[in-house]
Amino acid sequence: MPKTIISTTEAPAAIGPYSQATRAGNLVFCSGQIPIDPKTGELVAGGIEAQTKQALANLSEVLRAAGASWPDVVRTTIWLVDLGDFAVVNRIYGEVVGAEPPARVTIQVSALPKGAAVEIDAIAHV
């Protein structure tokens, strides 16, 4: 089964040798999105709330470019530098994913690219 590379200028460009997303058959595998403003290329200011909103906005744009949306998402992974931010991230995430949320894993890590506090990826079925 061939894969299709998904790319959009509405989300930050990849900062390494990877694609924003790939589609294989009915599955879309979205790379992790950190809270970079796609217009400036800079990490957004404003703490974990602003960073979570931007990471989710970036991921929404990648999903859109793949012809998917949040109801199509079957699994996500959230990486946090500080699990103390879990409640804030969880609230914002819940507002975005809606009443039928996907399966999810949340992991604390020691650091993320560009000093981000949060990174989120997704797998969607379209």
How far apart CA 15 and CA 73 sit, in angstroms, is 24
Residue pair 49/75 in contact (Cβ under 8 Å)? The answer is no
118-125 and 103-108 strand pairing: unpaired
Whole-angstrom Cα Rg for the chain? 14
* Single pTM value for the model: 0.97
pLDDT-derived band at 1, boundaries 50, 70, 90: confident
Q: Please give the single-letter amino acid code of residue 117.
A: A
pLDDT at 41: 94
Which residues, 6+ apart, have CB-to-CB distance to 6 below 8 Å?
19, 20, 21, 22, 23, 28, 30, 62, 65, 66
pLDDT-derived band at 15, boundaries 50, 70, 90: confident
pLDDT of 100 > 90? The answer is yes
pLDDT-derived band at 40, boundaries 50, 70, 90: very high
